[in-house]
Structure 1
Amino acid sequence: MSDTDAAAARRTPSRVPLRLAVVGGRRGRAFGSTLAQLTDLLELTAVCDRAESVLAAWSDAFPQVKPYRDFDDLLADDEVDAVFLATPLKQHAQQAISAMRAGKHVLSEVVASYTLAEAWELVEAVEQTGRTYMLAENYCFMRPNLMVRNLAAAGAFGQLTYLEGAYLHDCRHLMHTADGDLTWRAELRTEVSSIYYPTHSLGPIAQWLRAANGAEDRLETVTGFATGSAVLPAYFSKEFGADHPGALAETWRQGDSGTAVITSTSGAVLSVRVDAVSPRPHNMTHYVAQGTNGAYESARRDGEDPLLWIAGRSPERGEPGQQAERDWDPLWAWAEEFEDPRWREHLAAAEQAGHGGGDYFVLKEFAEAVRDQRPPEIDVYDAVTWSSIIALTVDSIDRGNQPVEIPDFGGR
């Protein structure tokens, strides 16, 4: 084959399914049924986990899958094209870097990186290897979030000026084993005070901001705030006794609830809240958008509709010369015009997947990006920007809640 033919072959999208390995089989099993729906795009080839019981469960469900206990052994397998990282979040960046330098494409669970140094190293690895890297931020692909992004891109909100995202999920039961040992989630809370899990809250609203205001409107500064830690000491004292380390307030350096206030170069303000321990009903998908021409509020609980109001198109009542009484539309009333085409085409399959259908579209988008040799929808630059809020809020809180600059990692 001539050099010209070889170059053309590299540019030609492959129609052969991408051979995928799942790393972190315990969490990764949540994607098993979704992978089974995407066999035209993805071939589940291997799974890697330290626990034999996890590997055995995968083997029962997918007998053809090769089991690995060692990550380096998996990376040496030439029959694996890509890895899906579903490991504890502090491992993601270094595992992704190692995988790309071994020639693998990477789909990484959130977050992408834990420190700023890792963020820059991850960007460098993508740029040097040319491998496809995508952040598996499934909340960006939820049905209402994609509809709102389409509305933003169409100019329905005008210029976006204020956005909120919050992840409110009582995960106290995931902070310990049955014997009371701290899990990796709890250990994170003993290290630093930060917004340690920001991308579910930030990812969708950052995409809306860009869609409405343009790619030049980038996230500029962040200021971090954290409450005290009152919930976990009381919880561990009740569950395991007053002598348990978790019953001591000084064990927990991370507050119960954290908020990051982010400004953008256009003057927009984004409020991002994460609370994974406070006792309350779950509200893991709280979003608000306010623009110069409209507003959006997500549903708070099952059975509610997300709400939309657009000036000149949503209901208004009142006498001439008086201020109109305004009312919300259910978001679904706008579906015929602004439903994302992917949801229109794949609704039945997506509704069977986790995280509001987001898991289905994350895997599909990654496989298609590799196949078509194009940047994925959530590339490394978005991934590290959103993830950098962890390290930056540590800095801000340590400096007495001072604003700190968000690096420009490139892209756009």
Structure 2
Amino acid sequence: MNFKDRRSFLKLSSLAGISLASGNALAFKESNSDKKKLESLIHQNTQNFNMCGYAAPKLNKVRVGIIGLGMRGPGAVQRLSYIEGVDIKGLCDLRPNQVEKSLQLLNGTPHKPKLYSGDDEAWKKMVDQEDLDLVYICTPWEWHTPMAIYAMEAGKHVAVEVPAAKTLEECWQLVETSERTKKHCMMLENCCYDFFELMTLNMARQGFFGEIIHGEGAYIHNLVDLNFNKNGYEDMWRLKENANRNGNLYPMHGLGPICQIMDINRGDQMDYLSSISSGDFNMHDRAVELASTDPFFTPYRNDNFRGNMNTTIVKTKKGKSIMIQHDVSSPRPYSRIHLVSGSKAFARKWPEPKISTSHSYMDEPEMKKLEEQYTPEIVKKVGELAKKVGGHGGMDFIMDWRLIDCLRNGLPLDQDVYDAALWSAISPLSEQSVANRAQSMDIPDFTRGSWETNQPVILSLEGAGTTNVLLKE
């Protein structure tokens, strides 16, 4: 499908949802006509190259350039410096002081990166001028897709922070660029590498849960104070994301691990979703309160902030269900839920890890036995070191180590561009559903049918695990 057709496809997809929601006869007639055009465009679309399971040529040395050194970037700089076979060649941020601060993190290491900053095009200069194998992107959301595409077009693999894209069009751009260039585009979904999530993935692979029936994930994290902090996110960009967008804006942390367990994109596929949001009972009030004493916040009084809680339900092609929630403005304890419900067993992480094979939860000794039996190889290899390095308890380091180890050994990545696109697509689709009274929205198949034969994610160290950690135990 060419770019013009893709734009037509997305336009028709949106119109179809709106027409169905309006409920009048004319709209229904138009939606039927649009449906035929939409089906025609879909059937023209074939996969150029399957990036699921793709093993790029081995890289003995992975030369890395990092863009974005605000909230997340400095942590990535430090973590990558502990991994054998990494050469940090470039550091880039709009703000020179952030680049200098990150450079100091490399004192005493062999890394001597060139520094890029000072203007909006600095990142392009780094990509163009440095001999890089991997571009690691930690910028505000709006830059993720443009930077990832530019880097892949320049012949670099990409690791991009969540979400990888903000619109369906951007999701397709990532897929088509990765397929055409044969460059990896991995979304840095660190929660796939948290310890309980890895254990339950291993349990699922060994049949502990039986047939997986239902999964739940969430991002419930009170960010009101941080979002309204003028010294928090640069130019208040995250607050602006939560203004005038109403949907599940950040589904990936809860969704990613569940998708891997349920073999989404690799044996099953999302079919459609429906989404609702509560009203906003916190954000606008905070904007009004702050504006009463600080004129800086006066413009925010006019924003339509997203509802406190969004709940999105997904049905899969094989009849399974997923619930994803998003709430960053209520005074609730942090939770990603991580619930796995199967025909033989059940697991839930929050508020505390629990597993059941009957009507009651296992006691602590039973849980300990399961942990000993199902802790995966990757955790045994670097888990304790990861906890020492840190990064959300160690999961960030496991993610980075696994990425580098796969690139160095010429192995497929655990997360590919189809995962990046699909998990990111939930946001714009949920916005459309919320705007149309929870109208169900068809979810694009970014694998274009290859999900039926793609192999599930198995975190084996066969042919891998050769990369050392440059940290004293």
Pick the TM interval, shorter chain: 0.7 to 0.9
Residue 334 of structure 1 corresponds to which residue in structure 2?
370
2:408 to 361, 366, 371: 371
Distance 1:233 1:182 in 2: 18
Residue 281 of structure 1 corresponds to which residue in structure 2?
333
Conserved 8 A contact 1:176-1:182 = no
CA deviation map 1:255-295 (0-9, x unaligned): 12211111111221111001111122322x32111111110
1:201 to 238, 254, 262: 254
SS in structure 2 at match of 1:326? coil
Residue 190 of structure 1 corresponds to which residue in structure 2?
243
Distance 2:231 2:386 in 1: 37
SS in structure 2 at match of 1:216? coil
Quote how far apart the aligned CAs of 1:246 are.
6.4
Amino acid paired to 2:162: V
Amino acid paired to 1:122: L
Amino acid paired to 2:123: F
1:101 to 136, 153, 161: 153
Residue 21 of structure 1 corresponds to which residue in structure 2?
65
Distance 1:85 1:247 in 2: 28
1:166 aligned to 2:218? yes
Quote how far apart the aligned CAs of 1:178 are.
3.2
Quote how far apart the aligned CAs of 1:361 are.
1.9
Residue 382 of structure 2 corresponds to which residue in structure 1?
346
Residue 397 of structure 1 corresponds to which residue in structure 2?
434
Moved more, 64-73 or 173-182: 173-182
Distance 2:243 2:440 in 1: 23
Give me the CA root mean square deviation. Answer: 2.2
Distance 2:271 2:102 in 1: 44
Quote how far apart the aligned CAs of 1:103 are.
1.2
Distance 2:317 2:408 in 1: 35
Quote how far apart the aligned CAs of 1:355 are.
2.0
Distance 1:125 1:12, change over 3 A: closer
Distance 1:247 1:105, change over 3 A: closer
SS in structure 2 at match of 1:358? helix
1:138 to 190, 199, 203: 190
Distance 1:246 1:264 in 2: 42
Residue 58 of structure 1 corresponds to which residue in structure 2?
102
Residue 78 of structure 2 corresponds to which residue in structure 1?
33
Conserved 8 A contact 2:383-2:398 = no
Residue 92 of structure 1 corresponds to which residue in structure 2?
144
Amino acid paired to 1:376: L
Structure 2 residues without counterparts, runs of 5 or longer: 1-54, 455-473
Amino acid paired to 2:399: V
1:385 aligned to 2:422? yes
Distance 1:366 1:185 in 2: 27
Distance 2:298 2:320 in 1: 42
Amino acid paired to 2:409: D
CA deviation map 1:9-42 (0-9, x unaligned): x986232x2011111011211223322220x131
CA deviation map 1:148-194 (0-9, x unaligned): 01111111111111211111111112223438996111111223211
Conserved 8 A contact 1:147-1:335 = yes
TM-score, normalised relative to structure 1: 0.87
Conserved 8 A contact 1:143-1:340 = no
Conserved 8 A contact 1:143-1:356 = no
Distance 2:244 2:399 in 1: 31
The structure in which a higher percent of residues are strand is 1
1:152 to 204, 212, 217: 204
Distance 1:345 1:103, change over 3 A: same
Residue 230 of structure 2 corresponds to which residue in structure 1?
178
Quote how far apart the aligned CAs of 1:44 are.
1.5
SS in structure 1 at match of 2:207? coil
Quote how far apart the aligned CAs of 1:221 are.
0.8
Amino acid paired to 1:193: N
1:269 aligned to 2:329? no
Conserved 8 A contact 1:233-1:246 = no
CA deviation map 1:47-103 (0-9, x unaligned): 110011101112222252211120110111232221110011221111100001011
Quote how far apart the aligned CAs of 1:251 are.
1.0
Quote how far apart the aligned CAs of 1:397 are.
1.3
Amino acid paired to 1:291: G
Amino acid paired to 1:381: Y
Distance 1:179 1:23 in 2: 20
1:230 to 281, 286, 308: 281
Amino acid paired to 1:135: M
Quote how far apart the aligned CAs of 1:310 are.
2.5
Distance 2:113 2:334 in 1: 35
Conserved 8 A contact 1:174-1:185 = no
1:67 aligned to 2:111? no
1:45 to 72, 78, 89: 89
Distance 2:231 2:73 in 1: 24
Residue 399 of structure 2 corresponds to which residue in structure 1?
362
Amino acid paired to 2:85: L
